[in-house]
Structure 1
Amino acid sequence: MGLTADERWDIIDAITQRTVGTGTYRRTLGDALGDLTIQPLTGIPVALGVLYAFWSIFGSFAGSLVTDGFMVKLFDSSWLPWLQAAWPNPDSILYYLFVGDPAADNCFEAFGALTSGLFVAIGVVLPAVLIFYLMMTVLEDSGYLPRLAVLMDTVLHKIGLHGYAIVPAILGLGCNVPAVTATRILETRKQRFIMMSLLAIFIPCGAQLGVMLEVIPETVGLVMLYLIIGFGIFGFVLDRLIPGSNPEILIDVPPYRWPAWENVTRKLWSRTKGFLKEAVPFVLLGVLIVNVLYLTGVIAALADLFAPLFVTWFGVPKETVGPLVAGFLRKDLAVAQLSTIAMTPYQMITSVVLVSIYFPCVATFVVMLREGWRELLAAIAVLIAVVFIYGGLIHAIGILMGVA
């Protein structure tokens, strides 16, 4: 004969009395810090401080210390002169493809696969990705990221997401490839589509940020402001246009703890290794393809074809067509190309924003395709609309301000 419900509960009570012990709860410093970082009044200033420290360390380490302090000297003083002297026949096509401009005195402007390609990938992007993933892993393992998710929940609900969306958003600042995959932690198809679309359009990867800090450090802040505003505006619009639910966040917030450095180093190596395998080949391939397109006159033809659109609607030089083509392969490569084009400071800001909201790099494109071809086609439609609307709006703002 089966047990009644009351008899089952009696057995549970008996087991509980034998196995569960009670004691006096003592509030720790970690508990106090946990409460402070989850309440809006104190948590928002802490979050702003953490993000400011994150950005400051990122820029100082990746830009000033490693790239400017070491990599520029290594590539420009040693690697480039040796390669120019060792490579036969400076007038050949292969020299142009792999070494670049024979008159260049730095790797950044040479634009060969083995000069600009390696310098952008190893000298600029790798230090940026390395320090980003290190800080990201520390925040993740210390228990701060779940608290940031709870803190951001109310804000992100305004654009159809919940607090967990902060995880792919921050990951996207390192690389959009794992960020798109991380959208699976969101509960509904609507949330995943909105986040995937906003990631592909408005979140610049660590590689792109590293190049921006190197070539346009004085305007990075304004570029990021435009991207953040666009993230909010178009997230709000998509939430109203796309049917579906937006459930409340349900998350287990762990206690604060010191990160285990063995786990930190393991995660750092795994993520950095993924970058080296996926990004570096695309950078080198991107330089080669763009050089071939320049040699065959394709870029010049596209620039002439789209000149009315770019000059009139976006307010940027027609030469930005080339970087936009390169942006499909690597956006960091595209920003590097933009820095060599003569334009006003506001045109540079507009151009970098256009590259950022333009088609995601091919690696992100492939990952989005894995999430479903319908979602990909819908995201592309959203992207095209955003590029035309937001790009024209930025130009209009520049005209009204008298700086365009």
Structure 2
Amino acid sequence: MAVVAVEGAEAMVFSSDARWEMVDAITRQTVTYGTYKHTLGDVLGDLTVKPLTGIPVAFAALYAFWSVFTSFAGTLMTDGFMVKFFDGFWLPWMQSVWPDPASWHYFLFVGNPAADTCFEAFGMLTSGLFVSIGVVLPAVLVFYLMMTLLEDSGYLPRLAVLMDSVLHRIGLHGYAIVPIILGLGCNVPAVTATRILETKKQRFIMMTLLALFIPCGAQLGIMMSVLPDLVGIVMLCLIVGFCIFGFVLNKVIPGENPEILVDVPRYHWPVKEYVAKKLWNRTKGFLKEAVPFVLFGILVVNLLYLGGVIQGLANLLEPVFVTWFGVPKETVGPLIAAFLRKDLAIAQLSTIPMTTYQMVASVVLVTIYFPCVATFVVMLREGWKELIAAIVVLFVVVFIYGGIIHGIGILLGVA
């Protein structure tokens, strides 16, 4: 029974059935029903969220994403414009105006006086500017543009629904695809985006896997520029590692894996003003945070070379690197640089004489070795206990997975 108090009248008592009859009466007088006609957007929305049709669409969308990313950022911008400017004009000018090629300051800021390209020079004002402005900036710009279009059009939530069953097997749910895709642009916002996951277990697993197996857009840009033929095999190694160790972490770490609950909006055209604003804010963040770290990273590495620290560490760690990981001891330098910027480390690796197998193993090792300092700081903000636990897991994974890759190389006869 329900009691309804009416101002200026006596209280009236209604049964549950009478109350619903009154609701129906009010509804009939106030609500008008019509026939809803499905639009093209509704049809596309249904097709892209059902596994049978949605998975091929997802592969096609990601392939288009990658094709635009590589052709525009790598081929058109970097190879077509930036390489010609930096190697044809900037490097010769720096080598001609900077005094005393045999001095320590020439080595720090210009690099190798006999270098023909900015990659080979490895000076703060040559390789540093070329890596950050000539290679990384076009890659980041294109990535964030494509990411914003997927996000604002309404496709990203549908991709989350499609990925839910797969990601559940490693303790995550479908919306973990957001930090994964963000991590391909930059791990800093990706770690922050792990907050959309409900439990501490999910956030820890995602944060750890991001630091280990998701290369940022800057690193991808460098890989496409200096190692274009090896990007596929490197990504395959990282994807396999992501799945294997995600599955292990899900089994080892206690906690719940709740189901996904996500609003799937209708498809709509992105608003160009919002797209431009997001693109500017994200690119501005890269210029403010990443470029100084690239320049500072090259400066620190060159100082360590001048002080003999790199050579000393290379000799000390040679048994581990050569015997266990199967890579040259000279990779110590890039590993140190990787803590500042992993794209910088990949660029440095490209100057070391190695076999194809050693290059793949070295790039994978640099990728999973340690998060860059910017990601490290953001992970610390998420909690120092979680950061320490993630670092412990990281070192264990690096040692195990690096050894596995070397073992596979030996079995295949390429190590």
Deviations 1:185-226 (A, max 9, x none): 000000000000000000000000000000110010000000
* Aligned residue in 2 for 1:378: 389
Aligned to 1:81: 92
**Cα distance in 1 between the residues matched to 2:325 and 2:242:** 19
CA distance in 2 between counterparts of 1:375 and 1:99 reads 40
Change (3 A) 1:8 1:181: farther
2:9 is matched with none
**Which whole-Å CA distance do the structure 2 matches of 1:12 and 1:358 have between them?**
64
SS at 2:191 equivalent: helix
Within 5 A, what are the aligned runs for 1:360-371?
360-371=371-382
Which residue does 1:258 correspond to in 2? 269
Whole-Å separation in 1 of the counterparts to 2:305 and 2:27: 75
State yes or no: 1:27 paired with 2:49. no
Letter in 1 for 2:319: P
Deviation by residue 1:133-169 (Cα, 9 ceiling, x = unmatched): 0000000011100000000000000000000000000
Matched, 1:123 2:130: no
Residue matched to 1:303: 314
1:281 pairs with 2:292? yes
The equivalent residue for 1:291 is 302
The alignment partner of 2:125 has SS state of helix
Take 2:130 and 2:32, find their aligned partners in 1: how far apart are those partners?
61
Report the equivalent of 1:271.
282
Stretch deviating more after TM superposition (229-238 or 86-95): 86-95
Deviation at 1:91, TM superposition (A): 1.9
Return the offset for 1:81: 1.2
Specify whether residues 144 and 294 from structure 1 end up closer, same or farther in structure 2 by C-alpha distance, changes over 3 A only: same
Alpha-carbon distance change, 95 to 256 in structure 1, aligned in 2, over 3 angstroms = same
Whole-Å separation in 2 of the counterparts to 1:334 and 1:91: 25
SS of equivalent residue, structure 2 residue 317: helix
Does the alignment pair 1:198 with 2:196?
no
| Aligned positions of 1:103-182 closer than 5 A | 103-182=114-193
**More displaced stretch, 281-290 vs 106-115:** 106-115
Which one-letter code corresponds to 2:134 in the other structure?
Answer: G
Structure 1 runs not aligned, ≥5 long: none
Alignment counterpart, residue 249 of structure 1, candidates 244, 247, 260: 260
Query: How far is the alpha carbon of 1:23 from its aligned partner?
Result: 1.6
Counterpart Cα distance in 1 of 2:279 and 2:26? 44
Q: What is the DSSP-based 3-state SS (H/G/I as helix, E as strand, rest coil) of the residue aligned with 1:245?
A: coil
Query: Aligned partners of 2:30 and 2:411: how far apart in 1?
Result: 72
For residue 224 of structure 1, what is the amino acid of its counterpart?
Answer: M
* Aligned-residue offset at 1:240: 0.3
**Distance (Å, rounded) in 2 between the aligned partners of 1:15 and 1:346:** 75
> Offset of 1:22 from its aligned partner?
2.5
Amino acid at match of 2:170: I
User: For residues 252 and 30 of structure 1, what CA distance do their matches in structure 2 show?
Assistant: 16
Cα distance in 2 for partners of 1:389, 1:151 equals 31
Which of 359, 377, 385 is equivalent to 1:348? 359
Between stretches 148-157 and 256-265, larger displacement belongs to 256-265
Per-residue CA deviations over 1:71-130 (Å, capped at 9, x if unaligned) read 001111111111111112222211111111111111111001100000000000000000
The equivalent residue for 2:113 is: 102
Q: Which residue of 2 aligns with 1:92?
A: 103
Cα distance in 1, alignment partners of residues 28 and 210 from structure 2:
51
Larger Rg: 2
Query: Residues of 2 paired with 1:266 and 1:92: CA distance?
Result: 45
Q: Alpha-carbon deviation of 1:57?
A: 0.9
Give the 3 Å change call, closer, same or farther, for CA 10–273 of structure 1 in structure 2.
farther
TM-score after normalising by structure 2: 0.95
Distance 1:8 1:290 in 2: 77
- Give the number of aligned pairs: 404
1:21 Cα deviation from its structure 2 partner: 3.7
| SS of equivalent to 1:113 | coil
Does residue 292 of structure 2 align to residue 315 of structure 1? no
**In 2, Cα distance between the equivalents of 1:189 and 1:287?**
36
State the partner residue of 1:235: 246
Quote the residue 1:40 is aligned against.
Answer: 51
- CA distance in 2: counterparts of 1:14 and 1:241, whole angstroms: 57
Residue 401 of structure 2 is matched in structure 1 by 390
* 4+ residue segments displaced more than 2 Å: 1-22
